[in-house]
Amino acid sequence: MVGSIFFIEMPYSDFRQFKGRPILVFSVIDKNDLLVLPLTSNLGRDGIVITNQDIVKGFLRKDSVVVVPKITAIDQSLISDGNFIAKLKDSVFEKILKEICIKFEC
């Protein structure tokens, strides 16, 4: 699951509205909660650009930006095989983890 991209109904930062969007699972907190990063097709957005060359399984309909460090915790029940999009190559996922550490001064 970690390193995979899924499509979910993602809340806006005010948690009052939702928008369907792809997310990258980057950590499993416990049996119920995951930490995720949103993706956007706005290539001008700050973050890490990913393309289908960065994918080991599945595919992206558009090149996307992983918005680092806009981290959100979600309930694992929002994730299912039916909304799986793609799995990142390990090297690309490691690059994203390094960028998270840079942003949070790990």
CATH at residue 90: 2.30.30.110
The 10s digit of each residue's pLDDT in 29-53 is: 998 999 999 999 999 999 999 999 9
Q: What is the domain count for the chain?
A: 1
Percent of the chain with pLDDT over 90: 80
Range of the domain at 100: 4-104
pTM (2 d.p.): 0.93
- How many whole angstroms separate alpha carbon 48 and alpha carbon 7? 18
Specify the higher pLDDT residue, 13 or 42.
Answer: 42
Please report which helix (H) or strand (E) contains residue 18, including its range. Answer: strand 18-28
Query: Which of 41, 26, 8 has the alpha carbon at shortest distance from 96?
Result: 26
Looking at residue 13, what is its pLDDT? 76
